[in-house]
């Protein structure tokens, strides 16, 4: 199954439809507090574990295809033409399970390669931010930047690692994080035209609340589910940050948590 999105002339409606289609496609069908839950990684067959997302921009014949793990929304690899590149995460070796089920028409060999960085934002020399040479808060997002990221990744090994890592930071936030969080989806659409030809401020940088949600998604997913057997209270309260960077505690599914979160990771209770 593949889902596609084109940045050319994209408007709020087309982007929201894309995010909803992807969110619906990866959801298990189960909900907790009206938030969709992803599938259990221990029960998903290897040949069903990844969904392909085809991204195009305003340049003819420029396209990449992402392979996204449906159990956690992690981008694990991408394809351009007849070659593919895997992020340097040990769980997904290109030529062994489950990685072998990613782009299976590309045979084992030199066209299945591993990048020199992981899909993690931070943590060590192989993280996206380290290789990109910039933190997320210093990297602009928006349809223009997404289109540029698609173009850069489509060039494969002709692009420097720093440019590739920066492109992944843009793509992951505008796709995977937007699928997880309504708040992030809204941040993107706040900087998009409602109809073609509208004037709009198309670029933005992540605020501290957005980064806080991204960093806390796994913990939020766990606590939201475990609260069901704990009288609605989080067994382990979390600290989030508002847009200005001020910290605050979250110890239950508040209205903001419900309104801002759309998709959570399956938790082995």
Write out pLDDT tens, residues 112-152: 999 999 999 999 899 999 999 999 999 999 999 999 999 99
Helix (H, G, I), strand (E, B) or coil at 157: helix
Helix (H, G, I), strand (E, B) or coil at 250: strand
Describe the crossing of helices 182-189 and 12-26 by its angle, rounded to 10 degrees. 160
Model confidence over 18-33: pLDDT tens digits? 999 999 999 999 999 9
- Asked if 180 is an active-site residue, the reply is yes
**Residue of 121, 166, 185, 260 marked active site:** 121
Superfamily of domain 2-179: Ricin (A subunit), domain 1 (3.40.420.10)
Q: Which residue has the tokens 């997880």?
A: 180
The answer, as to whether pTM is greater than 0.85, is yes
Token digits of residue 249 = 């505690």
Q: Is the pLDDT of residue 244 over 80?
A: yes
Model confidence over 75-116: pLDDT tens digits? 999 999 999 999 997 566 677 767 788 999 999 899 999 999
- Taken as a whole, the chain contains a residue count of 269
pLDDT at 91: 66
**Residue of 78, 164, 166, 177 marked active site:** 177
Q: Tell me how far apart the alpha carbons of residues 90 and 99 are, in angstroms, rounded to a whole number.
A: 10
Q: What angle do CA 251, 256, 261 make, to 5 degrees?
A: 95
Token digits of residue 7 = 């940045």
- Asked if 268 is an active-site residue, the reply is no
Q: Tell me how far apart the alpha carbons of residues 10 and 193 are, in angstroms, rounded to a whole number.
A: 8
- Asked if 248 is an active-site residue, the reply is no
**Residue of 15, 74, 78, 92 marked active site:** 74
**Residue of 49, 79, 164, 180 marked active site:** 180
Helix (H, G, I), strand (E, B) or coil at 131: helix
The percentage of residues in the chain with a pLDDT greater than 70, rounded to a whole number, is 97
- Asked if 183 is an active-site residue, the reply is no
Token digits of residue 151 = 């173009």
């Amino acid at each position: 199954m593949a889902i596609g999105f084109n940045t050319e002339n994209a408007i709020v409606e087309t982007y929201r439809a894309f995010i909803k289609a992807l969110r619906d496609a990866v959801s298990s069908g189960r909900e907790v507090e009206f938030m969709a839950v992803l599938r259990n990684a221990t029960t998903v067959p290897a040949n069903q574990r990844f969904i392909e997302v085809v991204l195009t921009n305003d340049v003819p014949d420029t396209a990449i295809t992402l392979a996204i793990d449906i159990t956690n929304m992690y981008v694990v690899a991408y394809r351009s033409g007849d070659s593919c590149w895997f992020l340097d995460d040990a769980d997904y070796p290109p030529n062994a399970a489950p990685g072998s089920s990613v782009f299976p028409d590309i045979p084992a060999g030199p066209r299945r390669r591993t990048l020199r960085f992981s899909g993690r934002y931070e943590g060590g020399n192989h993280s996206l931010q380290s290789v990109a040479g910039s933190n997320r808060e210093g990297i602009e997002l928006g349809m223009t930047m997404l289109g540029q990221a698609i173009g850069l990744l489509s060039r494969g090994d002709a692009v420097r690692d720093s440019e590739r890592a920066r492109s992944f930071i843009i793509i992951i936030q505008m796709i995977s994080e937007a699928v997880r969080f309504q708040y992030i989806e809204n941040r993107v659409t706040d900087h998009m035209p409602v109809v073609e030809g509208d004037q709009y401020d198309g670029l933005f940088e992540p605020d501290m609340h957005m980064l806080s949600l991204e960093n806390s998604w796994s913990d939020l997913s766990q606590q939201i589910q475990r609260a069901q057997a704990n009288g609605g209270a989080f067994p382990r309260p979390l600290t989030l940050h508002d847009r200005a960077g001020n910290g605050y505690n979250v110890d239950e599914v508040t209205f903001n948590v419900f309104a801002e979160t759309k998709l959570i990771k399956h938790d082995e209770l």
